[in-house]
Chain A
């Protein structure tokens, strides 16, 4: 291979990758504002499903796994009926974006999985109602994942224990713990930017 060949090959690769990069950048620039708005809308819809009929006020931001997440207060009229917190769990192949609704006593009422990249067919079972309904009525001490049949704790999905743990022992547990620490023990709603 002569120097000229090496130059030709390098130039070929550089040009093709530059063109590819520009195409990707162009598509991203056009698509990302729309994706952002879609995500915002999905978030609003998720809140409405978690505590139907409530009005939500954002209380602040917090950080888990270096990701920014939000938490909200849910009111019906003037009465606080609960809180919703966004949290992330480190799963098998992704961070699982989870929304958790708790009542005033920090008992989990409902959870919703907004986004994840777990294996289809195994890890994505975390999206099923059968799995999510297990969380209703659990307090922070009952979020342990068991591989045996259980209603007291959380039962692992066959073939997806890591994804199950990520949701229960990571996302939900840390989210609820943060709410308790910030809103109950802190007793001071001005503490809104605590980091986990």
Chain B
């Protein structure tokens, strides 16, 4: 892991998306994910917010790893996570209030994300800055991917619509199913159903088609 050659970084990046996908493989941070994924726009914004905070936290923890006493590492990780979340919120509210009005809700939820703490503990606190950054990016993109797929599925089945963020100012809602949608899919119980179904599908595809890649792991 100490080598920073290009292939290793590429593997590291893909690791977060496929082999250790936060939702589909590690089953972490399910609670906030299920809460927000009942429309596509929410899924995408939440994913982007996590991608940003995960990367910044990984970089910060990696920089600090030599000065953190192991026995108090968890409270320090929590400080870094909540600190980044708060700073991001304040800066967005001050400089890009229009964007903040749209994504502010999602950013506040990130403090409670187990996946971010998990990466700080398992990776960033043991690795140098470049691999930590790539790991954060990979984990974040994997999370964004998972949330996008889940929210696409839930909104389509549960409401028969897709809410697409175009830029950050407007959104288009278009309906293309005229029958009554399966409302349970947008309610919390449907979140578990959707995550379960998609998790099974993801793992089936992974085992069936990605087997060769998995052997080297």
Contacts and interface: CB of A to CB of B under 8 A. Distances in A.
Interface in A95-154: 117-122, 124
B46 interface: yes
B68 to A, nearest CB: 7
B106 A120 contact: yes
Does more than half of chain A's interface fall in helix, strand or loop, or is it mixed?
Answer: helix
B105 interface: yes
Does more than half of chain B's interface fall in helix, strand or loop, or is it mixed?
Answer: helix
A46 to B, nearest CB: 12
Contacts of B46: 120
B173 to A, nearest CB: 10
Contacts of A34: 93-95
Contact of B76 (A8, A13, A27, A119): A13
A106 B105 CA distance: 32
Interface stretch (A16-24, A55-63, A72-80, A164-172): A16-24
A124 B76 contact: no
Given A8-B69, A38-B97, A120-B46, A24 B83 contact: yes
Contacts, number: 80
A31 B35 contact: no
Nearest to B188: A159
A35 interface: yes
Contacts of B95: 31, 34
B94 A31 contact: yes
B108 interface: yes
Interface string B101-114: 10001101100000
B76 A31 contact: no
Contacts of B68: 12, 16
B38 A124 contact: no
Contacts of B187: 158-159
Nearest to B86: A24
A17 B75 CA distance: 9
A13 B68 CA distance: 8
A20 B35 contact: no
Given A12-B68, A121-B36, A121-B37, 6 more contacts: A8-B69, A16-B68, A16-B79, A20-B80, A32-B94, A38-B94
Interface of A: 8-9, 12-13, 16-17, 20, 23-24, 27-28, 30-32, 34-35, 38, 42, 117-122, 124, 158-159
5 contacts: A35-B94, A120-B105, A121-B36, A158-B183, A159-B187
Listed from nearest, the 3 A-B pairs whose CB atoms lie closest are A34-B94, A31-B94, A121-B38
Interface of B: 35-39, 42, 45-46, 64, 67-69, 71-72, 75-76, 79-80, 83, 86-87, 90-91, 93-95, 97, 101, 105-106, 108-109, 183, 186-188
